[in-house]
Amino acid sequence: MTARSETKAASFAEAAARDVDFEAAVRPHYAPLVRRLVVVMGNEHDAQDVAQDAYLRAFRSWDRFDGRDVRAWLYTIALRLAFNQLRRRRRWLGFISRAEPAPWSDRSDPDLWIALQRLDPRSRAALLANVLDGYTQREIATMLGVPEGTVSSLLSRARATLRIELGEGL
């Protein structure tokens, strides 16, 4: 084997190891991420598209990942992509003067899902990350790229809105 072919072989081995490491780290987070994105995006198809884009971006920047919390890192990428897509969708729909698509709903508690869809995307994402995923306000602030006090406000307003919408003691 020549030095050049040995270098190529080592390069392929490193790439294969990187692929295996990435897949092992991120695979368990795909389904929960899609579930959260369904609520943020409004439908499963868009949620899966955003999740796939997030995984592609994460793979491309895997060598720059600091190794702390892969789930928070993926959620940060995905939420930012989702918010960007929602902004583009609103601009486009405003441009062509159409109404928003019907919100996704879950048959188990349609009132809850309708109320969640009425929240703005950042409030909804903060609430779900806190209540369903157990993230702290500091972690959510990092994910959303906002101050911790803003997350506190988002959570407070989201809970107050849901109390009014659902008429329950949340």
Collapsing DSSP to helix, strand or coil, 152 comes out as helix
Residue linked to tokens 């390069």: 11
pLDDT of residue 93: 58
Asked if residue 66 and residue 42 are part of one domain, the reply reads yes
Please say whether the beta carbons of 128 and 138 come within 8 A.
Answer: no
Asked if residue 80 and residue 23 are part of one domain, the reply reads yes
Amino acid (one-letter) located at 55: Y
Asked if residue 136 and residue 114 are part of one domain, the reply reads yes
Question: What CATH number does residue 71 fall under?
Answer: 1.10.1740
Average of per-residue pLDDT across 78-82: 92
Residue 149 has pLDDT above 90, yes or no: yes
Average of per-residue pLDDT across 98-125: 70
Tokens encoding 71:
């789930």
Instruction: Provide the percentage of residues in the chain whose pLDDT is more than 90.
Output: 36
Average of per-residue pLDDT across 133-162: 91
Structural domain including 141 reads 105-170
Q: Where are the alpha helices (DSSP H) in 27-147?
A: 30-41, 44-60, 70-96, 110-118, 121-131, 137-144
Burial class (CB within 10 angstroms; exposed 0-12, middle 13-18, buried 19+) of 144: buried
Asked if residue 159 and residue 81 are part of one domain, the reply reads no
Residue 155 has pLDDT above 90, yes or no: yes
CA 52 to chain centre: 11
pLDDT of residue 101: 46
pLDDT of residue 75: 93
When divided into structural domains, the chain yields a total of 2
- Average pLDDT for the chain: 82
- Domain-terminating residue out of 50, 77, 100: 100
Confidence of residue 11 (pLDDT cuts 50, 70, 90): low
Concatenated DSSP letters for 3-36? HHHHHHHHHHHHHHHHHHHHHHHHGGGHHHHHHH
pLDDT of residue 53: 96
pLDDT of residue 96: 52
